[in-house]
Every structure is written in structure tokens, then in C-alpha cells.
Amino acid sequence: MAARDRHYIALVFLWIAFLVVSAAAFFAILLTGRYPRPLFDFNIGRRRWTWRVGFYTFDANGTDQYPPFTLKPISPHRRVGSRSSGV
């Protein structure tokens, strides 16, 4: 199984969770008038991961750096797998 396939499998489950979380967020916003921060962070993290995987694969043909398995934002200047020379 190619590494990119593992990302797609993870994204399928994240998209299913996204539907559930979005429904919960809808009712939370309807009842409280606020978007709960954990639900917002999850939805944004899922979107970031989808964009990174799409950018790595042929959707944008933009990079050869493998995207990390994380929902957190990553610095666009961070090189995956590089080590600093300590200078």
C-alpha cells in the first residue's frame, strides 16, 4: 500500500467525522450563538490535512515533501526530514 493511500484512508474517516462534527456545531451555534472552539479546530484541521494531501498528490502538483499525519498547522518554511547544521 502506498503511503498516500494511508492518507486517503485516514481522510475518509476524517470526512465522516467532519459530517458528525458539523451537525453538532450547527446545533451548538443555533442554541448558543457561538461556534465551539474544539469543533472549529477539528474542522479546520481536517481541511488543512485535505489540502496538504491534495497538494502533495497530483491535485496541485506542488511539492515533493510528504505531508505529516497531523491536524495542526505546519510552517510553510519547515522542511520535513531536514536537520539543521547547528550553525
Residue 45 amino acid letter: G
Count CB atoms within 10 A of the CB of residue 85.
Answer: 5
Please say if the pLDDT value at position 35 is more than 80.
yes
Contact 4, 56 (CB under 8 A): yes
Contact 43, 26 (CB under 8 A): no
Distance CA 39, CA 45 (A): 10
Question: What is the model's pLDDT at position 87?
Answer: 44
Position with higher pLDDT, 75 vs 30: 30
Cell of 76: 510553510
Residue 16 amino acid letter: I
The structure's pTM equals 0.66
Position with higher pLDDT, 71 vs 66: 71
Cell of 11: 481522510
